[in-house]
Structure 1
């Protein structure tokens, strides 16, 4: 075990989160880890219900590691919440976590070992579950190896955002998170790869990802399609994809966004979850 590990846990929370899920997310990422974070930074993105506020107070009071809760007066969105959280982190490495997911006990020990080898960002696979984290329904297996990650990033997000562990210095070189609808993590990953950052994935599902009702419906619609087209344009502008790749992606990914949710679920399970990575907004 790496006794000299120095990294922060960054966990955003907003009004739509569940107090019980938050407790499980925090305890699995701190109390149950074979390698605990040095500190936890929780960003409360705007006012939250009483139950959630009470749970945050309990976490702050009972946590076995120092906890800083940054309370934003209004809901400002995930991009802003994460950047504010990064400012509050005192450690050079940050591990991401969402308020409704579950970390497996060896997650941080395995990721930290790779960060110690010099990587700037290390993601992992995820196992999706609907109600019971001990009964996953499918896996999201990310690409492994620099070449596969870069190639895959031209068409899909190569990293599962809730699993990321990264160096703040690498994010600083590309401007940290930038607003991009629900695809701020995809855009961050692309810019890191384009900057020459040393990135890798662990294929094993070290995070259990809660899939709620309506997840596939939220991945579609004209708003998501427009965001997708904007992202493809940004990737083309920085030279990450060719003109031909841009045209192909705009056509295929735009069509996917506008499909009925039931059809998206089938395609996602078959072509993304089983062997290619998705992201929360994929």
Structure 2
């Protein structure tokens, strides 16, 4: 790893009407106040009107922040892809870190990731611990692939990055075409295009973010709308030759089928293949 000093960076955190004020406050503090390496700027994007309770917590967080905060307010709900694109335009630094309004960053997250950006990478993600209700109740662990070759291979079938954990260079995001609306897969679509366009990527296998699993998480991953988005994604991959014909057929059968199975089976498949329960010897 390069000994270069970590670059100054912006934190990009969108929120909307369904976000819980207490969760937002925890997410903000964990990613700003409690970090051993703090962002130089925070960009909050309000995606449409929000309840008074959430608006109050956002304003109080911005006022009490140890670093400058800019708030971008969209008058109507435009969706995550648009919110992130608007937020990126407000980011003053080339390096941008992502965060969601209901997750928790571990204190050393940026201290681990930013030196990797300084070494020449364009995109760096990390592992996550999934929890329900209480932080101490860990139900799964996502360990991403590590290394350019492994990440590129994995990306032909599944998103190789956990979106709430990533830090990236704005120039590399723009070169790949930026975020584009695609169901719940706008991040996967972007990261695949970044890899395909030659971006240098990496992951930290260590979990650096606590990811909150809501009661509706598995329902949102299925249904006809998600199947439609999946088909659009796979067709785009094939058109750009990101995937081969056989990979395309496999993805349609497996990933498309996943969208249509009952929610209970979808949960079992997700827990078996993507976010496996943590081992008891890990002490988490």
TM range (shorter): over 0.9
Give unpaired runs (5+ residues) of structure 2. Answer: 278-284
Pairing 1:171-250 to 2, within 5 Å after superposition: 171-250=173-252
CA deviation profile, 1:218-273 (whole Å, cap 9, x unmatched): 10011111111110100001111011111111111111110111111111111111
The answer as to whether partners of 1:42 and 1:85 remain within 8 angstroms in 2 is yes
Find the counterpart in structure 2 of residue 94 from structure 1: 96
**Cα root mean square deviation, aligned:** 1.4
Q: In 2, Cα distance between the equivalents of 1:4 and 1:96?
A: 16
Q: In 2, Cα distance between the equivalents of 1:2 and 1:70?
A: 32
CA deviation profile, 1:169-193 (whole Å, cap 9, x unmatched): 1011111111111110000010000
Find the counterpart in structure 1 of residue 136 from structure 2: 134
Match for residue 71 of structure 1 among 67, 70, 73: 73
1:27–1:3 Cα change, 3 Å: farther
The answer as to whether partners of 1:220 and 1:261 remain within 8 angstroms in 2 is yes
Q: In 2, Cα distance between the equivalents of 1:109 and 1:217?
A: 35
- Runs of 4 or more consecutive aligned structure 1 residues displaced over 4 Å after TM superposition: 1-4
Find the counterpart in structure 1 of residue 43 from structure 2: 41
Q: In 1, Cα distance between the equivalents of 2:139 and 2:220?
A: 19
Q: In 2, Cα distance between the equivalents of 1:2 and 1:268?
A: 39
Find the counterpart in structure 2 of residue 18 from structure 1: 20
CA deviation profile, 1:89-130 (whole Å, cap 9, x unmatched): 001100000000000000011100100110000000110001
If the length of structure 2 is used for normalisation, what is the TM-score? Answer: 0.94
Q: In 2, Cα distance between the equivalents of 1:209 and 1:2?
A: 30
Find the counterpart in structure 2 of residue 169 from structure 1: 171
If the length of structure 1 is used for normalisation, what is the TM-score? Answer: 0.95
Q: In 1, Cα distance between the equivalents of 2:249 and 2:159?
A: 18
**Structure 1 position 4, deviation (Å):** 6.0
**Structure 1 position 134, deviation (Å):** 2.8
Find the counterpart in structure 1 of residue 117 from structure 2: 115
Match for residue 149 of structure 2 among 140, 147, 165: 147
1:205–1:51 Cα change, 3 Å: same
**Structure 1 position 274, deviation (Å):** 3.1
Q: In 1, Cα distance between the equivalents of 2:8 and 2:97?
A: 11
Find the counterpart in structure 1 of residue 282 from structure 2: none
**Structure 1 position 77, deviation (Å):** 0.6
Q: Number of residues paired by the alignment?
A: 275
Give unpaired runs (5+ residues) of structure 1. Answer: 276-282
The answer as to whether partners of 2:6 and 2:114 remain within 8 angstroms in 1 is no
Q: In 1, Cα distance between the equivalents of 2:86 and 2:109?
A: 24
**Structure 1 position 60, deviation (Å):** 1.5
Q: In 2, Cα distance between the equivalents of 1:69 and 1:5?
A: 22
Q: Secondary structure of the equivalent of 2:134?
A: coil
